Structure 1
Amino acid sequence: MSRSNHYLWFICLVSALGGFFFGFDLIVISGTISLVKAQFGFLPWQEGFFVSSAVVGAIAGTAVAGKLSDRFGRKNNLFLAALVLFISAMGCTFASDANSLIFYRLIGGFGVGVATLVSPLYIAEISPANVRGRMVTLFQFAITVGIMISLFSNAAIKNWSDSLIASGNLEGSIGWLFGAEPWRGMFLAEGIPGVFFVLLCLLIPESPRWLISNGQEEKAKQIISRVSGKEWASKQIKEIKEVISEETGKFSDLFKGGYKTALTIAVALSIFSEMSGITVVFFYGPTILEKAGLSLGDSLGGFAIIGIVNVLFTIVALWLMDISGRKKLLLAGTVGVILAHTAIGILFLNNYDTGFALVFLMCAFVAFFAFSMGPIKFVIMNEIFPTKVRGRAVAIATITIWVCQAFLNQFFPMLREIIPVGAIFIFFALILVPQIFFVLKVMPETKGMSLEEIEQHWKTQSEEEEQSKLSSAKA
């Protein structure tokens, strides 16, 4: 691997830590739900808000991150996200009551929202076209690693708590954080990598495309030279400048011509991805497994296995994203998810919901999701918009993710009380059927295209539509 490739991987891995905390911060909640619910006596709607509060914060973070990243740069917003996430982890650990706990969950959600928008956006802008899909998929890979580590951390801390309680050793800070109230230790585990994220954000450069759009061409040239090599730097800068010079930077452009199609694609992929029920499975997975007869400790252990599958099949996406392309992976994954959800629904509806069968089918669902819908929505939304409005455009698609998550996670505890869980999974399967036709008929293949080539594609489509309107008017 060349020195420039080493540098690119370092930059992208640091940025992808935003994905790590996305996975860890939102999934750490799965191990704390029953513990916090018992301690504070939550009703179903309060349980839903405890889970969805971070998502509400993420919506707010994403809403402001788009404009902030376009104005102040991608790097500064990554640092902001890292700092907020660390503060949230410490705040949740030492929360004195339910209200303060939920407040710090909201704060953490804000940081996750910023990171979710800026991390893949930054990676897409700094990566060469031939590896951009793979590099953006690192963000999804980091999410899966964060999920896996959080699940193992939750399981280990719960087992440690059981041991401390059995021995009666509940004195001091260790006994309090990891014995009597182990949910605090689960949140504390997030703070340790948070320190490294804050510090590493100081070592990465700004996005060269953002620098060029803000008149800092020399800095951009130095960064591109280190990432892609000097022989490509001048050519890339010329292409970027040509495309940016033709951009108006108007937010309204996103609702016209080809860019309107691009926005529709990004939003639709976000809706389909979240309405697949992935966050319900990860947030409420241990609770679902408990419903099938497993103890909390066993359900956390079984769910950790699901986390491993998530990581392994995201590696498949890393390998195939720039080989097979986006469309083939998404089609295969969508069909697989539909079949897995249908099988889960049938198990529940026929009372065959044994622990082993559920874990196996949830692993199948997560595997199909991990190499397709999970990473591809981030890859597509971060490569199909113009540079000057990319931050705000990605914000719309990312907010869509959080709104869908907030809706599902708020109402799932109430729905499972009145609707069979099996019926809910059948619904998840049915809602994904239209995505098959959407991918075949609407979504373009962007494998191997530079960001400037993709932008030119939409510009050409807009010009053709405008010409068609003029011809119709004359007729």
Structure 2
Amino acid sequence: MKNGFVILISATAALGGLLFGFDTAIISGTIPYIQSYFSMDAVSLGWAVGSGLIGCAIGSVIAGYISDSHGRKLSLMLCALLFAVSGIGVAFSHSLFAFILFRIIGGIGVGAAAMVSPMYIAEIAPSSDRGRLVALYQLAIVTGILVAYFTNYGLNDTGINNWRWMFGSQLIPSLLFLIMLLFVPESPRWLVGKGRIKESLTILQRIVPPFQLQQELEDIKKSFASKEQIGLAHLFEKRYSKVIIAGVLLAVFQQVTGINAILYYAPVIFNQTGIGNNDSLLYTIIIGVVNVVSTFIAIGLVDKVGRKRFLLIGSVLMGGSLLIVAFCFYLKFFQYYIILIAVLVYVASFGCTLGAVTWVYLSEIFPNRIRALALSLSTFALWLADFIISYSFPIMTMHISTSVTLGIYALFCAIAFIYMVTNIPETKGKSLEEIETLFV
């Protein structure tokens, strides 16, 4: 990969994942404090944690239409603004209603960015490097998680308003993202879809080798040849059914295998083993570091090993790790180092596989004409699954135990493995237009 321009604009767009990761992890360090401040029971805590995900689901739906009508770049700038407003609003919240409202507003920005960022990268990346460039989005997610863990740890002893500082700090990454977006071009594929061929060609000249330029432009134009207006109803036509089902199920599997229950509630899980709150926050930093390192592995190998093999290996390792933690809780064998190692293997497996590769796969499997709406539907399903997991986790652990809850997540890992063996084709090294034929 020699095109520094492509790497730079891909990395900038990937910062949308930084918002996602920061939002995912910042809540974990605030749980004991907001639970006390707002006098929450298990149900209201589930709502407080999951409220941002309601916004994410809304954002993923809205983003499909906004990114198709106004472009990928403007959509991402709007995401950054919403996340900034959310940080300020939550930091100054004095009621649970205001807290949840501003969490939802931030979630809209995060959910929209989760759909638009990988789509934008896939649309500007050469097919030979698309996997690792889209995987930058997952790297940004885990970097955001790690930054949030450090933020929580650093602000933990700042007094009774520490949780306000934790949430308010998200203003920094959102403004960074907004400023950097000013310097990225629009997606050339979106420009072709709008008939702005000359503008698209100008951008493609900086992305595609000269000998491939004309063929690339013709392939893109051909994929938009139909004048038929695409709406949500078209996604349910028989010709698209196979790819839509694959996209939605893969998005759901990424969440129901339990990753965000672990990331949101990691300090709570460690507290149940008898570890103090400060040590629990420190262990979450270790989790964050492992998450980042494993994502680098995915970036280095996803275009060599392939998408499908990574997904299958990950589902096996994640399921096995969850079973170890589940048995430790079932037997009340609270040797923290065993639980910590199993959690780290689980997180590393996710980072290498379902974490990074899911975004790569979702960004590239949908035909050009329906990509925005189809990706919107898939990310909506992802956020809905994420909400169900994060909302239900404290309730399930209270009523059916932590061990059974983790065992259920392990079962979903097995179901995901079975589905992916038979229904997920390999897309490594293929152009976006070639991938369209795999699901016909």
TM-score normalised over the length of structure 2: 0.97
Partner Cα distance (1:138, 1:247) in 2: 34
| Greater shift in the superposed pair: 245-254 or 145-154 | 245-254
Secondary structure at the aligned position of 2:305 is classed as coil
Alpha-carbon contact 1:213-1:244 (below 8 Å) kept: yes
Alignment match, 2:312: 331
Q: How does 1:126-275 map to 2 (within 5 A)?
A: 126-158=124-156, 161=157, 178-246=158-226, 248-251=228-231, 252-275=233-256
Alignment match, 2:363: 382
Question: In the TM superposition, what is the alpha-carbon distance from 1:355 to its structure 2 partner?
Answer: 2.2
Secondary structure at the aligned position of 2:365 is classed as coil
Are 1:114 and 2:112 an aligned pair?
Answer: yes
Partner Cα distance (1:310, 1:218) in 2: 42
Question: In the TM superposition, what is the alpha-carbon distance from 1:406 to its structure 2 partner?
Answer: 1.0
Question: In the TM superposition, what is the alpha-carbon distance from 1:101 to its structure 2 partner?
Answer: 1.7
Partner Cα distance (2:412, 2:70) in 1: 39
Match of 1:27 among 25, 28, 51: 25
Alpha-carbon contact 1:341-1:426 (below 8 Å) kept: yes
Are 1:83 and 2:81 an aligned pair?
Answer: yes
Superposed CA deviations along residues 277-313 of structure 1, whole A, max 9, x for unmatched, are 1010011111111111111111000111011000000
Question: In the TM superposition, what is the alpha-carbon distance from 1:180 to its structure 2 partner?
Answer: 2.5
Alignment match, 1:172: none
- 1:179 counterpart letter in structure 2: G
Question: In the TM superposition, what is the alpha-carbon distance from 1:31 to its structure 2 partner?
Answer: 0.3
Alpha-carbon contact 1:70-1:389 (below 8 Å) kept: no
Alpha-carbon contact 1:280-1:412 (below 8 Å) kept: yes
Question: In the TM superposition, what is the alpha-carbon distance from 1:247 to its structure 2 partner?
Answer: 7.0
Partner Cα distance (1:386, 1:248) in 2: 14
Are 1:352 and 2:350 an aligned pair?
Answer: no
Question: In the TM superposition, what is the alpha-carbon distance from 1:201 to its structure 2 partner?
Answer: 1.2
Query: Alpha carbon RMSD of aligned pairs, Å?
Result: 1.4
Alignment match, 1:283: 264
Secondary structure at the aligned position of 2:224 is classed as helix
- 1:413 counterpart letter in structure 2: P
Question: In the TM superposition, what is the alpha-carbon distance from 1:184 to its structure 2 partner?
Answer: 1.0
Question: In the TM superposition, what is the alpha-carbon distance from 1:362 to its structure 2 partner?
Answer: 0.7
Superposed CA deviations along residues 415-442 of structure 1, whole A, max 9, x for unmatched, are 1111110111111111221222222211
Are 1:6 and 2:36 an aligned pair?
Answer: no
Secondary structure at the aligned position of 2:425 is classed as coil
Partner Cα distance (1:121, 1:228) in 2: 18
Superposed CA deviations along residues 206-264 of structure 1, whole A, max 9, x for unmatched, are 10000001001111111111122333322210111112114745344433345211111
Are 1:405 and 2:386 an aligned pair?
Answer: yes
Secondary structure at the aligned position of 1:371 is classed as helix
- 1:112 counterpart letter in structure 2: V
Are 1:371 and 2:352 an aligned pair?
Answer: yes
Partner Cα distance (1:452, 1:398) in 2: 22
- 2:378 counterpart letter in structure 1: A
Alignment match, 1:444: 425
Alpha-carbon contact 1:70-1:388 (below 8 Å) kept: no
Alpha-carbon contact 1:247-1:386 (below 8 Å) kept: no
- 2:421 counterpart letter in structure 1: L
- 2:64 counterpart letter in structure 1: G
- 1:143 counterpart letter in structure 2: I
Larger radius of gyration: 1
Partner Cα distance (2:320, 2:64) in 1: 36
Task: Quickly say closer, same or farther: Cα 1:368–1:249, change in 2 above 3 A.
Answer: farther
Partner Cα distance (1:270, 1:236) in 2: 29
Alignment match, 1:173: none
Partner Cα distance (2:435, 2:234) in 1: 16
- 1:68 counterpart letter in structure 2: I
Question: In the TM superposition, what is the alpha-carbon distance from 1:414 to its structure 2 partner?
Answer: 1.3
Question: In the TM superposition, what is the alpha-carbon distance from 1:193 to its structure 2 partner?
Answer: 2.1
Secondary structure at the aligned position of 1:432 is classed as helix
Identity %: 34
Alpha-carbon contact 2:55-2:106 (below 8 Å) kept: yes
Partner Cα distance (1:74, 1:310) in 2: 28
| Greater shift in the superposed pair: 53-62 or 371-380 | 371-380
Alignment match, 1:103: 101
Alpha-carbon contact 2:425-2:438 (below 8 Å) kept: no
Alignment match, 2:54: 56
Partner Cα distance (2:184, 2:275) in 1: 45
- 1:17 counterpart letter in structure 2: L
Alpha-carbon contact 1:249-1:388 (below 8 Å) kept: no
- 2:275 counterpart letter in structure 1: L
- 2:12 counterpart letter in structure 1: V
- 2:178 counterpart letter in structure 1: V
Secondary structure at the aligned position of 2:186 is classed as coil
Question: In the TM superposition, what is the alpha-carbon distance from 1:385 to its structure 2 partner?
Answer: 1.2
Alpha-carbon contact 1:86-1:191 (below 8 Å) kept: yes
Alignment match, 2:123: 125
Alpha-carbon contact 2:223-2:369 (below 8 Å) kept: no
Question: In the TM superposition, what is the alpha-carbon distance from 1:94 to its structure 2 partner?
Answer: 2.0
- 1:133 counterpart letter in structure 2: G
Alpha-carbon contact 1:249-1:389 (below 8 Å) kept: no
Task: Quickly say closer, same or farther: Cα 1:354–1:246, change in 2 above 3 A.
Answer: same
Superposed CA deviations along residues 344-402 of structure 1, whole A, max 9, x for unmatched, are 11111001123222211110100111111112221111111122221110011101111
- 2:304 counterpart letter in structure 1: I
TM-score normalised over the length of structure 1: 0.90
Alignment match, 2:401: 420
Alignment match, 2:40: 42
- 2:81 counterpart letter in structure 1: L
Secondary structure at the aligned position of 1:322 is classed as helix
